Amino acid sequence: MSIFCLGLNHKSAPVEIRERFVIPEKKLSAALQEVRALPGVHEAVILSTCNRMEIYAVTENRKDGVRLLRDYLQSHFQLSSRERELFYLHEELEVARHLFRVASGLDSMVLGETEVFGQVKKAYHAAHSERTTARNLNKLFQWSFRVGKTVRSGTHITKGSTSVGSVAVDLAEKIFGDLRHCQVMIIGAGEMSRRTAKSLLSRGASSIFVSNRSHDRAVELAREMDGVAIRFDDWVQAIPEVDIMITSTAAPHTFIHVDKIEEAMRLRRGRPLFVIDIAVPRDVDPDINDIDSVYLYDIDALETIAAEGRRKREKQIHLCEGLIEEQLEDWDFAAGTGTGDSQKDDPGEEEKDLRDLSPAHD
């Protein structure tokens, strides 16, 4: 038996190519069964996220299996000759090394992100439920879960915020502590402000107001986040009610000035106001940072903090790679098992892993 992984990711293909190969969850069962039905294919797992599509397969003959799978992708996705070249191939021990790196967050667009761990589990769970896995892929994926946990617990690869949005959320928690009583206002319905607001809501922020020059767009975004749309001319009146203001408009100059914020702060009776200005050009006059209890961060300040978080994670790469190599030394790949206690099937551990699933974005 031979094992291999055929796939593409954010490193090998741009988004306009990757988006063509996303396999929706409702079509995953059919795709698994189609791959499993290919001659000589005994096991299959498909990992499909916004940043990768990978097929892990166990076949009688590696050369024939790779050819059959390439032909399947050719017919299923109507591959061009250029697109065929974007797929990478990992074989035998390199499959384990690659999957261990994926599960550990070392192969992600955001280094050390934890969401992909849940995605790997979910992909395995889907294949396991469809009975397209057996001894080889069961062992490989269960082992990858252990490696992912070991890397995250044994290093600082997940520590520190690495994106503008995550930095903003962390800063909000430092200012307010518990976000459950915080109200958020978005001015401008850009994608980055939307993502930041959704992150704040996921951390417990209680409600959201949306204001945009196009009121229809504000209504649409407010509906998406179960919030309230307010007209663009009325955003100033909402400031006394909100705790976190995210602004990202296409205005050619600043329009949030000291006088407007000072007036609102008198009504807030000392409650802090956190202002996140991620617009370029800036929406907010930097002088508002001199107002008591106002905390202003622009895109450069947030990016500086995020860059430091990325540097800290990058320093952990060699430690993570070392832990993965130690795990590979214990992996008896020809037998499809690991050494020691992991040579035996452990249904209890597998079920425990399968319960720990989380929807996410690699």
Residues acting as catalytic residues = 50
**Which residue carries 């988006």 as its tokens?**
19
Using alpha carbons, select from 195, 188, 148 the residue that is nearest to residue 167: 195
Query: DSSP secondary-structure letter at 49?
Result: -
d(CA 227, CA 310): 32
**Is 272 in a helix, a strand, or coil?**
coil
For the chain, how big is the Rg over CA atoms in Å? 24
d(CA 255, CA 232): 12
**Vertex 56: Cα angle to 316 and 333 (nearest 5):** 70
d(CA 266, CA 247): 21
Q: Are 192 and 164 in contact (CB under 8 A)?
A: yes
Question: Which residue type sits at 309?
Answer: G
Helix or strand run (H / E) with residue 33: helix 25-36
d(CA 28, CA 25): 5
Query: DSSP secondary-structure letter at 214?
Result: S
**Which pair of tokens denotes residue 197?**
């607001």
| 47 Cβ contact partners less than 8 Å away, ≥ 6 residues apart | 7, 53, 54, 55, 56, 102, 119, 120, 123
**Is 23 in a helix, a strand, or coil?**
coil
**Is 244 in a helix, a strand, or coil?**
strand
Q: Are 213 and 187 in contact (CB under 8 A)?
A: no
Using alpha carbons, select from 307, 300, 304 the residue that is nearest to residue 286: 300
